[in-house]
């Protein structure tokens, strides 16, 4: 109903401004100032004051006087307060919200018909997923989920570097060294198994006799050249290593969870001639120069001082060159492309955008989400023999810590057999991994953060467990009333939403109603933290309702009970779907 209410507010403002013969290009519709009893407000009076020749409060009063709330189904009243025109919703708004939110798909926007590809993570397949990059799959997967919920046709891609020097080194090492010469893997998992060869190879190249290193480099260069020349045997050799490592990486990412529709390999664009085509077009551009044994682009006109290198002197291309062909393929197949990148790739992103523009592409179709890295606390995740901290380490510790917290809180219920051992394990997994994901996605991507266990797993603070507990509470209320929390799409009883009159009930209705608009905003700005902020506000509002408005108490009459149950079901759908688009589990019990 919030979106319909906003439409009515905008229509009322347009009508009033036209009646006053004032421009309607900027209605200034926004959340009201703090302390103002309204759902929406207009700040248009600020903009129009100079044109009218009157102070903003006077202009706001003129606009409000021109509005007849009775002409609009969801507007109860419009009034001026200082420089703002404030709008209150009608009973139809509240009643419609409860009815609309009975659907398990509540908040999902209408299909846009737009195909969007979201590329994220894309870590080189040289070993297990490192925790330093954990923000990428968490932010990227959340962006994809939000765009999907906003009505877009979304595909999730992982761009695989299977043709660079790293993979040539990996392939050479895998074919050169015996397993007997390697340490035991840290885990029984494919990526941990093969990464031992990669580390052994790099160590050999740094410490071996110069003649042996030279011979090894010749073999590595032959692999790189074979890939560049489209040699099928070379591709097959590299593919064995890449696909095996990717298999292990996928297992780790699926725990977050972060799933992909396609793993797009850069070698495909070498094999189909796309990269050669890009190179020839770049060479022919006025910005191309051959300097320092490489073909480069001068991008001064785009405000970029550092040249973009796209071809080495030996005729081999770079990752960035192949990524240009990859992006042109995206433009040919999708309406929009979103890429999630670490802050250390900001310059490369600027060079990419400028070069794509030089090649004649519509770069308005491309948006990048840049994120800063996550700092980790000291503790069990200490670095192992210089290999770094893997994502699996973080998730294992998260589940272990969550289990301790859950068992401390649920000892009595476990003894009473209300929760089985299987229930405790499920809750620990949902809470632990949810805590990691929520804590990271809840911050603005451009801000560096330090992950802290105590904060992330605090059931009383603004954390994942705090919000998850609200969802579990809604399920508990519904199940106590005999309504399955698995399928509460429609309540068995009719309900009269007009009975929801208290401040706590109305506040909860208002925050439920805003959920579709939150999805709309988060999708437009590619900012998942907007949804996380909403869930925290939602949890606080629901908890106030829970304290002040008993649902199943004996002294609550049947009609009010049914209305409040409908509101609880609406709340369950809103908070459950909000957690869902963040990729955080919504437990039925905690």
Q: Per residue in 15-43, pLDDT tens?
A: 999 999 999 999 999 999 888 889 999 99
The CATH number given to whatever domain includes residue 28 is 3.30.1360.70
80 plus 166 within the same structural domain: no
Q: How confident is the model at residue 382 (pLDDT cuts 50, 70, 90)?
A: very low
The CATH number given to whatever domain includes residue 459 is 1.10.730.10
CA–CA separation, 30 vs 235, rounded Å?
55
63 plus 201 within the same structural domain: no
The pLDDT tens digits for 486-504 are 664 556 568 899 999 999 9
Quick one: pLDDT at residue 385? 41
CA–CA separation, 438 vs 379, rounded Å?
20
pLDDT (mean) for 46-69: 95
65 plus 179 within the same structural domain: no
Does pLDDT of 455 surpass 50?
Answer: yes
Quick one: pLDDT at residue 423? 86
What Rg, from alpha-carbon coordinates, does the chain have?
29
3-state secondary structure 202-217: HHHHHHCCHHHHHHHH
Quick one: pLDDT at residue 8? 97
Does pLDDT of 415 surpass 60?
Answer: no
What values do phi and psi take at 228, rounded to 5?
-65, -35
Q: How confident is the model at residue 407 (pLDDT cuts 50, 70, 90)?
A: confident
410 plus 510 within the same structural domain: yes
Q: At what angle do helices 190-207 and 232-254 cross, to 10 degrees?
A: 120
Q: How confident is the model at residue 381 (pLDDT cuts 50, 70, 90)?
A: very low
CA–CA separation, 127 vs 196, rounded Å?
8
76 plus 168 within the same structural domain: no
Quick one: pLDDT at residue 284? 96
Whether residue 21 lies inside any domain: the answer is yes
Whether residue 545 lies inside any domain: the answer is yes
- Would you give the end-to-end CA distance of the chain in angstroms? 31
443 plus 540 within the same structural domain: yes
The DSSP 8-state label assigned to residue 282 in this structure reads H
Quick one: pLDDT at residue 414? 47
450 plus 561 within the same structural domain: yes
The alpha carbon dihedral of 465, 471, 475, 478 has a sign of positive
504 plus 422 within the same structural domain: yes
Does pLDDT of 80 surpass 50?
Answer: yes
Three-class secondary structure of residue 374 per DSSP:
strand
Instruction: Report yes or no: 457 and 431 within 8 Å, Cβ to Cβ.
Output: yes
Quick one: pLDDT at residue 384? 41
Quick one: pLDDT at residue 410? 67
CA–CA separation, 10 vs 30, rounded Å?
11
73 plus 179 within the same structural domain: no
Average pLDDT, the chain: 92
The DSSP 8-state label assigned to residue 377 in this structure reads -
The pLDDT tens digits for 515-571 are 999 999 999 999 999 999 999 999 999 999 999 999 999 999 999 999 999 999 999
CA–CA separation, 1 vs 20, rounded Å?
29
Instruction: Report yes or no: 119 and 157 within 8 Å, Cβ to Cβ.
Output: yes
Max Cα-Cα span within the chain: 89
CA–CA separation, 442 vs 548, rounded Å?
28
Residue 509's contacts (CB-CB under 8 Å, 6 or more residues apart) are 94, 97, 98, 500, 567, 570
Whether residue 193 lies inside any domain: the answer is yes
Judge if the upstream peptide bond of residue 257 is cis by omega within 30 degrees of 0: yes
CA–CA separation, 533 vs 145, rounded Å?
16
Does pLDDT of 386 surpass 50?
Answer: no
State the pairing for strand pair 40-42/29-30: antiparallel
Does pLDDT of 362 surpass 90?
Answer: yes
Residue 292's contacts (CB-CB under 8 Å, 6 or more residues apart) are none
Residue 423, CB-side half-sphere exposure with 13 Å CA sphere: 14
pLDDT (mean) for 108-128: 95
85 plus 168 within the same structural domain: no
CA–CA separation, 99 vs 104, rounded Å?
12
Whether residue 38 lies inside any domain: the answer is yes
Does pLDDT of 417 surpass 70?
Answer: no
Classify residue 417 as left (phi > 0), alpha (psi -120 to 50) or beta. left
CA–CA separation, 520 vs 223, rounded Å?
48
Domain-terminating residue out of 52, 67, 89: 89
Whether residue 157 lies inside any domain: the answer is no
Instruction: Report yes or no: 263 and 155 within 8 Å, Cβ to Cβ.
Output: no
Query: Distance between alpha carbon 436 and the CA centroid of its chain, in Å?
Result: 14
Domain-terminating residue out of 260, 276, 294: 260
In the structure encoding, which two tokens stand for residue 132, read together? 């330093």
Q: What percent of the chain has pLDDT over 90?
A: 81
pLDDT (mean) for 441-455: 85
Q: How confident is the model at residue 377 (pLDDT cuts 50, 70, 90)?
A: low
Among 220, 518, 447, 402, which Cα is nearest to 410's?
402
Q: Where in the sequence is the domain holding 547, given as residue range(s)?
A: 391-581
Whether residue 320 lies inside any domain: the answer is no
Does pLDDT of 388 surpass 70?
Answer: no
Residue with tokens 């309406």: 335
Q: What percent of the chain has pLDDT over 70?
A: 95
Query: How many domains does the chain divide into?
Result: 3
Quick one: pLDDT at residue 34? 84
85 plus 167 within the same structural domain: no
Domain-terminating residue out of 30, 55, 89: 89
The pLDDT tens digits for 162-216 are 998 999 999 999 999 999 999 999 899 999 999 999 999 999 999 999 999 999 9
The pLDDT tens digits for 203-254 are 999 999 999 999 999 999 999 999 988 899 999 999 999 999 999 999 999 9
Whether residue 399 lies inside any domain: the answer is yes
Whether residue 43 lies inside any domain: the answer is yes
Candidate from 119-133, 171-185, 347-361, 500-514 with smallest mean pLDDT: 119-133
Quick one: pLDDT at residue 418? 67
- Give the range with max mean pLDDT: 128-132, 333-337, 393-397: 333-337
Instruction: Report yes or no: 64 and 80 within 8 Å, Cβ to Cβ.
Output: yes
């Amino acid at each position: 109903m919030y979106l319909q209410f906003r439409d009515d507010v905008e229509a009322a403002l347009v009508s009033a401004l036209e009646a006053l013969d004032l421009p309607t290009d900027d209605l200034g519709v926004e959340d009201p100032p703090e302390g103002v009893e309204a759902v929406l407000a207009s700040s248009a009076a600020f903009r129009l004051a100079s044109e009218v020749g009157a102070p903003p409060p006077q202009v706001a009063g003129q606009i409000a006087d021109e509005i007849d709330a009775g002409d609009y189904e969801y507007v109860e009243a419009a009034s001026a307060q200082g420089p703002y025109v404030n709008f209150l919703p009608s009973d139809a708004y509240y009643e419609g919200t409860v009815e609309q939110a009975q659907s398990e798909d509540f908040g999902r926007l209408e299909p846009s018909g737009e195909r969007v590809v979201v590329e994220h993570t894309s870590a080189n397949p040289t070993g297990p997923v490192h925790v330093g990059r954990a923000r990428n799959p968490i932010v990227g997967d959340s962006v994809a989920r939000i765009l999907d919920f906003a009505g877009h046709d979304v595909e999730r891609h992982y761009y695989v570097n299977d043709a660079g020097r790293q993979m040539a080194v990996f392939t050479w090492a895998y074919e050169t060294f015996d397993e007997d010469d390697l340490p035991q893997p840290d885990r029984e998992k494919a990526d941990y198994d093969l990464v031992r060869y990669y580390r052994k190879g790099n160590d050999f190249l740094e410490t071996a006799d110069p003649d042996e290193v030279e011979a090894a480099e010749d073999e590595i260069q032959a692999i790189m050249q074979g890939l560049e020349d489209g040699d099928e045997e070379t591709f097959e050799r590299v593919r064995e290593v890449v696909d095996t490592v990717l298999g292990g990486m996928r297992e780790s990412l699926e725990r977050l969870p972060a799933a992909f529709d396609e793993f797009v390999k850069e070698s495909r664009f070498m094999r189909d001639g796309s990269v050669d085509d890009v190179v020839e077009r770049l060479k022919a551009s006025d910005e191309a120069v051959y300097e320092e044994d490489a073909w480069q682009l001068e991008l001064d006109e785009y405000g970029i001082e550092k040249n973009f290198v796209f071809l080495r002197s030996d005729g081999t291309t770079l990752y960035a060159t192949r990524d240009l062909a990859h992006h042109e393929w995206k433009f040919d197949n999708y309406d929009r492309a979103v890429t999630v990148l670490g802050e250390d790739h900001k310059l490369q992103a600027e060079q990419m955008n400028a070069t794509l523009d030089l090649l004649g592409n519509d770069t308005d179709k491309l948006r990048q989400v840049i994120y800063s890295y996550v700092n980790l606390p000291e503790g069990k995740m200490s670095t192992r023999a210089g290999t770094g901290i893997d994502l699996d380490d973080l998730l294992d510790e998260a589940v272990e810590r969550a289990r301790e917290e859950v068992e401390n809180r649920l000892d009595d219920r476990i003894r009473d057999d209300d929760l089985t051992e299987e229930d405790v394990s499920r809750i620990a997994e949902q809470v632990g991994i949810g805590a990691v994901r929520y804590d990271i996605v809840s911050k603005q991507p451009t801000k560096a953060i330090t992950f802290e266990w105590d904060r992330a797993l605090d059931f009383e603070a603004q954390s994942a467990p705090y919000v998850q507990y609200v969802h579990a509470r809604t399920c508990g209320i519904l199940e106590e009333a005999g309504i399955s929390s698995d399928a509460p799409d429609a309540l068995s009883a009719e309900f009269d939403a007009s009975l929801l009159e208290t401040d706590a009930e109305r506040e909860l209705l208002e925050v439920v109603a805003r959920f579709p608009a939150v999805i709309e905003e988060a999708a437009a700005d590619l900012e998942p933290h907007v949804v996380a902020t909403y869930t925290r506000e939602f949890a606080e509002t629901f908890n106030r309702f829970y304290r002040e408005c008993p649902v199943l108490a004996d002294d609550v009459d049947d009609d009010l009970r049914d209305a409040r149950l409908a509101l609880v079901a609406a709340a369950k759908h809103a908070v459950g779907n909000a957690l869902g688009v963040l990729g955080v589990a919504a437990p039925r019990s905690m």
